[in-house]
Chain A
């Protein structure tokens, strides 16, 4: 077994955890024999020049690819829909669960640019109390002006953009302190 040369314990399973913390467990040694719900069968990975990589499961083809990857986190595009998983060992999963219960409530919300574009107008100011759904700024992208609303109620901690400025996807725009 390969997982970290320092680890002496043999890993018996791996756990894929989705964004809603749903678990998908896979035994190690990893196998292409799969049981999903009450359906059981062999999974095949295929590839050809025309289609690229796809999965063959129960006589159905599923186009599949890795859209992005960051350490143990994977964004998989399957049949056009993306799924995010972090892959955990039983030990790291326990740690994850522990950390989640410890820091249950988040104090800050970072508002990031949902798409690349240009800030047309900033409608709020630092220190202002805001309601969820309140428009904070106008982002122009793909020739449309999009109103960016507060995802939560709270207080504007810091504004990182100015009107006229260009932003890339996921650029931090506004920091909000959550709270009524």
Chain B
């Protein structure tokens, strides 16, 4: 079956990303306009827009299976691409698409269900002799049960949501006394986020590296991996910077872990793109953590070093094609780094920084790719995640990729709000990062300052603040009302005033 039209059941940068590949493949794309952001950038990148901007619903359409099914039936598309987040890993939604003979661009409902439920995934891994951190393969009912299990495993332990992902519904417990409260927090968070309060407990591996393998599989039983991604730069289980390949893997270890990743995918008859996540400890022991049954946020680094368009591969597999690439064709070429440029205040614990993007100047260097769902004038609102853009940079070697990323960051100017840019500058300068020894404890244990700043820069800012003050005093003296509160003042006027002082 050839796919001629796709409904993108998502928003933001991933909707833009999917539309881009569809355009190249000559596939018609549909986007959904919501009342939450009727002027969103992704709507300008799709061929057709389904307008729901007049409908004010409690549940966002991207989470509303019934509504999406109605739309699919009405516009008669061949396929639905769920992107990531929202319903991307919802087996029920995938099944509903299958039921009406509309292709869900992703794995089968059965594979989503098995890997989506982490306790079932653990059972499958155990059956296939895949290394796992010790823990439960069933869900934990109450705090007393949790205590019993944790005492047996030995502290520290980690509570994880059975239906979880993205760091939500996860809590680390170092001491038995913390357990009751953390259990309550994890279950309420899991219930809210995933509509499923069940959790399981496993041994907490202290400061491991987070290594994940990109899988691609077709419906004819062919499974390959496209190498690994290093995602250890994370804060509270939220990834901030990813790279491919990982400086921690030798070719032998890469092959070993890659083969295991393929084995897990085969165990659930996987098809489409998927990611097998591992924890790697300091002795190079690795543990299967989970499989994400969707395209990942950080997929571009893999595309950069392998040369394959993963969205294209997903669509080809969805229309029943065989993979034309074999494991032997996968060559890792150079190095790629992705920085997630989020609207967050790194000086205030990475809290979301809401506001309007007044200026966004992007680097246009060679080897730089920007995936973004916003443009100048757009607002970062509390309704959605805080991502502004993904900056993906390639280099021949890791050192070159780091240097190119630093250069690109210095050319990436965003005004109107605070972003994670100064954070990445300091990470890329840190010796643990440059020598590759960092692990998931990097931000908490090694990074002294969360942003890059010099005394000289502070003095420049002090000079500018003083100038603003003088300027306003002068205005007050002229009895003018300052509507602009000192923002966006014409520099020529400022210069003139300075000279007249």
Q: Which among B188, B460, B490 is the interface contact of A43 at CB below 8 angstroms? A: B460
Rounded to whole angstroms, the CA-CA distance of A62 and B456 in the bound complex is 11
Say how far A84's CB is from chain B's closest CB, in angstroms: 9
Interface size on B, residues (CB 8 A): 63
Would B468 and A64 count as touching, CB distance under 8 A? no
Interface string of A69-94 (1 = CB under 8 A from B): 10010101111111101010000000
Given contacts A36-B460, A66-B487, contact A80 B498 (CB under 8 A): no
**B463: A residues at CB distance < 8 A:** 16, 24, 26, 34, 43
Rounded to whole angstroms, the CA-CA distance of A115 and B350 in the bound complex is 10
Would B189 and A145 count as touching, CB distance under 8 A? yes
**Residue A47 is within 8 A (CB to CB) of chain B in the complex:** yes
Would A64 and B469 count as touching, CB distance under 8 A? no
**B386: A residues at CB distance < 8 A:** 142
**Residue A161 is within 8 A (CB to CB) of chain B in the complex:** no
Rounded to whole angstroms, the CA-CA distance of A50 and B345 in the bound complex is 24
Q: Looking at the complex, which of A51-59, A96-104, A125-133 is the stretch in contact with chain B? A: A51-59
Would B466 and A16 count as touching, CB distance under 8 A? yes
Would B385 and A138 count as touching, CB distance under 8 A? no
Interface string of B466-501 (1 = CB under 8 A from A): 111110011001000000011111110011001001
**Residue B54 is within 8 A (CB to CB) of chain A in the complex:** no
Would B468 and A74 count as touching, CB distance under 8 A? yes
Nearest to A141 among chain B residues (CB) is B352
**Residue A14 is within 8 A (CB to CB) of chain B in the complex:** yes
Would A80 and B419 count as touching, CB distance under 8 A? yes
Say how far B355's CB is from chain A's closest CB, in angstroms: 9
Would A39 and B456 count as touching, CB distance under 8 A? yes
**B177: A residues at CB distance < 8 A:** none
Would A36 and B422 count as touching, CB distance under 8 A? no
**Residue A18 is within 8 A (CB to CB) of chain B in the complex:** yes
**A74: B residues at CB distance < 8 A:** 465, 468-469, 486
**B461: A residues at CB distance < 8 A:** 64, 76, 78, 83, 85
Q: Which among B185, B345, B455 is the interface contact of A145 at CB below 8 angstroms? A: B185
Rounded to whole angstroms, the CA-CA distance of A145 and B461 in the bound complex is 35
Rounded to whole angstroms, the CA-CA distance of A79 and B415 in the bound complex is 9
Would A47 and B466 count as touching, CB distance under 8 A? no
Give the contacts of A15-39 with B (CB-CB under 8 A). Answer: 16, 18, 24, 26, 28-32, 34, 36-37, 39
Say how far B172's CB is from chain A's closest CB, in angstroms: 12
Give the interface residue-count category, chain A. 35 or more
Rounded to whole angstroms, the CA-CA distance of A51 and B359 in the bound complex is 7
Nearest to B166 among chain A residues (CB) is A143
Rounded to whole angstroms, the CA-CA distance of A65 and B485 in the bound complex is 11
User: Which of B236, B359, B489 counts the most A-chain CB atoms under 10 A from its CB?
Assistant: B359
Would B185 and A52 count as touching, CB distance under 8 A? no
Say how far B370's CB is from chain A's closest CB, in angstroms: 16
Nearest to A53 among chain B residues (CB) is B491
Would B464 and A76 count as touching, CB distance under 8 A? yes
Q: Which among A14, A32, A39, A50 is the interface contact of B361 at CB below 8 angstroms? A: A50
**Residue B389 is within 8 A (CB to CB) of chain A in the complex:** no
Give the contacts of B326-375 with A (CB-CB under 8 A). Answer: 345, 347-349, 351-352, 354, 358-359, 361
Q: Which among A43, A52, A55 is the interface contact of B415 at CB below 8 angstroms? A: A52
Rounded to whole angstroms, the CA-CA distance of A55 and B460 in the bound complex is 8
Rounded to whole angstroms, the CA-CA distance of A57 and B460 in the bound complex is 9
Say how far B381's CB is from chain A's closest CB, in angstroms: 10
**A52: B residues at CB distance < 8 A:** 358-359, 413, 415, 488
Nearest to A120 among chain B residues (CB) is B188
**Residue A175 is within 8 A (CB to CB) of chain B in the complex:** no
Say how far B383's CB is from chain A's closest CB, in angstroms: 10
Say how far B361's CB is from chain A's closest CB, in angstroms: 6
Would B477 and A2 count as touching, CB distance under 8 A? yes
User: Which of B192, B348, B414, B457 counts the most A-chain CB atoms under 10 A from its CB?
Assistant: B457
**B residues bordering A, Cβ < 8 Å?**
167-168, 181, 185, 188-189, 192-193, 236, 345, 347-349, 351-352, 354, 358-359, 361, 382, 385-386, 413-416, 418-419, 421-422, 451-453, 455-470, 473-474, 477, 485-491, 494-495, 498, 501
**A residues bordering B, Cβ < 8 Å?**
2-3, 5, 14, 16, 18, 24, 26, 28-32, 34, 36-37, 39, 43, 45-47, 50-53, 55, 57, 62-67, 69, 72, 74, 76-83, 85, 87, 114-117, 120-121, 123, 135, 138, 140-145, 147, 169
What are 12 residue pairs bridging A and B, where the CB atoms are less than 8 Å apart in the complex? A16-B466, A18-B458, A30-B498, A45-B494, A52-B413, A55-B464, A64-B461, A77-B418, A78-B457, A78-B460, A121-B188, A144-B168
Query: 6 shortest A-B CB distances, which residue pairs?
Result: A24-B462, A16-B462, A87-B469, A115-B351, A45-B491, A74-B465
